[in-house]
Amino acid sequence: MKNAQILLIFLGALLYSCGPTRVPRKFYEYHSSSLGALKTYTAKPAYKGKKEKALYISANFSDGAQSQNKSNSEDVKKAGVLSVHRSVTDEYYNLHYGIGATYGEYKFGNSLGNFVTNQEKKDYYAINLKTGINFKKSIKKVDFRIIGLELAYDYEKGSYYKKISELPTGDIDPGYYNIKVKNPKSIFAYNFNTEVVLKFNTENNLGLGIFLGQTILSSDSFDFSGFTISYNYKKVTASLVYENLKSLSNKTHIKNIKYGLTYELFNKQNKKSKKLTNLKKLKSQKI
């Protein structure tokens, strides 16, 4: 009797292994296109002994990729960002606030039955707001921007937003796809940051920084981190921002690089310095 039971168990296991295999379920998540590209470098005057108020205009190119189905495929996100911000620099702090506009393209790296075709492209545009403050310590050749807090908000529209808003969510066809769409219209985030600025002279500065932040969404939150590199020459600053984001479920992974160029439009302290220099020249000529 015992041998017969063992034989039945063996036959059952053999029949199960030879039966039809279940196709593994594929997971896809779609969010605001700005997710994973929330950090933009913010130029600030290096401290030269006096309070400065400067106005900047920036152009950035954002190049990102979002993994889907646990990294088996990638969606590609490319965008241009134009922004204006104001920075205030004093002995112990920097303060900044600004507004920007983004226009980009989202390319789907996979097909979802009749809903999305492989390599399908949709555009998007967004309004970006940011503000922040950091406390610092300045010496002759270095600005230590010790700890900073920045808040960012993005509001997005476009054909990409419309596309994912129309996607069915949950288990689809039946249980072959699992699609999630999380708060694609707007996104709010904060980050803590630190930066060291090496002041070679009055016209050349090199900045190195790191940041760590979190998004605050209606249905989920994401942690992100990265680093910044910047080089300033007179009124022009070139920058690079690398950002890395992972979802708590570890199914969405976004990597993004932003290349930026910033121009200083106006600096109140510099303007005063020029006036003083001109007055000294006039006095010397009279003498």
> Using 50, 70 and 90 to split pLDDT, how confident is the model at 85?
very high
* Share of residues in the chain with pLDDT > 90 (%): 54
Task: Look up the domain containing 187 and give its range.
Answer: 27-282
More confident residue, 6 or 139: 139
More confident residue, 119 or 252: 119
- 278 — alpha (psi -120 to 50), left (phi > 0) or beta? alpha
When computed from its CA atoms, the radius of gyration of the chain, rounded to whole angstroms, is 26
Q: Tell me the pLDDT tens digit for each residue of 28-48.
A: 888 888 888 999 999 999 988
More confident residue, 44 or 17: 44
Residue 21 vs residues 16, 28, 69, 177: alpha-carbon distances, Å? 9, 22, 19, 16
Triad 81, 83, 89: Cα angle to 5°: 135
CB neighbour class for 271 (10 Å; exposed up to 12, middle 13-18, buried from 19): exposed
- Whether residue 13 is contained in a domain is answered as no
Q: Does residue 13 sit in helix, strand or coil?
A: helix
* pLDDT score recorded for residue 225: 96
Across 119-125, average pLDDT: 93
Cα–Cα distance, 138 to 148 (Å, whole number): 15
More confident residue, 138 or 23: 138
* pLDDT score recorded for residue 15: 45
Please give the tally of structural domains in the chain.
Answer: 1
- Whether residue 9 is contained in a domain is answered as no
Across 92-117, average pLDDT: 91
- Determine which of 157-161, 189-193, 222-226, 252-256 has the lowest per-residue pLDDT on average: 252-256
The domain that holds 211 is classified in CATH as 2.40.128.100
Which residues 6+ apart lie within 8 Å of 196 measured at CB? 142, 143, 144, 145, 207, 208, 209
- Whether residue 227 is contained in a domain is answered as yes
- Whether residue 2 is contained in a domain is answered as no
- Whether residue 287 is contained in a domain is answered as no
- Whether residue 12 is contained in a domain is answered as no
